[in-house]
A and B are shown apart, each in its own frame.
Chain A
């Protein structure tokens, strides 16, 4: 079945460390997204990518970096510059373009990152 795989499910980071969250999709979607979820704040967009080798900052990109070298993969690195990284991170994908009938995201099952 097609879907999005996020790994690991749980991740612990020490202060000052960079960590990378994996996101892989086999839906042949062009667009991919990273969201951060905190209790009571809903989902906030970190980065998004519409095509390979191109990505854009979302609303809260500071302290994060991404790459899009393959259509299927959109890893997120949480750097030491992110002062409050403990959160639930969600990856999503969608078909791109203006075909509104295809609108709607498919989400992965998330990675919970905790700073220790």
Chain B
């Protein structure tokens, strides 16, 4: 069974500082990995996804993530955080299960941005 661990429940960074959100996954084969962002009271928006190939993936809003198979990690990064990045971030792992996308989500990391 697949699983996702986001070890940080809350993270606070200063505006303009760099950001790294951690994600570890468990899956027997090559995983499909995702990062989603959720603003308060809203649905989730896909930031980026990894399936194969280049292990550094670029996403929207200036985010990137790096897949490291040896560490079973898929950490999300941004060089300079903006106040509008304050939100909750979810890492997810997907797999093909009987012809449908079975996606398991982490519990989320809430990002606070201070001036």
Which of B49, B99, B103, B106 touches A96 (beta carbons < 8 Å)? B99
Q: In the complex, which range does the number of interface residues on chain B fall in?
A: 20 to 34
* Given A104-B49, A105-B44, A109-B43, residue A98 in contact with residue B99 (CB < 8 A): yes
| Chain B neighbourhood of A96, CB < 8 A | 99-101
* Given A31-B100, A50-B99, A96-B100, residue A110 in contact with residue B107 (CB < 8 A): no
> With the chains together, A96 CA to B98 CA distance in Å?
10
* A interface, CB within 8 angstroms of B: 4, 6, 31, 40-43, 48, 50, 90, 92, 94, 96-98, 100-101, 103-110, 112
* B interface, CB within 8 angstroms of A: 9, 32, 34, 36, 41-46, 49, 51, 90, 94, 96, 99-101, 103, 105-108
Chosen A-B contacts, 21 in total, with CB atoms closer than 8 Å, are A4-B43, A6-B43, A41-B107, A42-B106, A43-B44, A43-B105, A90-B43, A96-B100, A96-B101, A98-B96, A98-B99, A100-B51, A103-B51, A104-B46, A105-B101, A106-B46, A107-B36, A107-B43, A107-B44, A108-B43, A110-B41
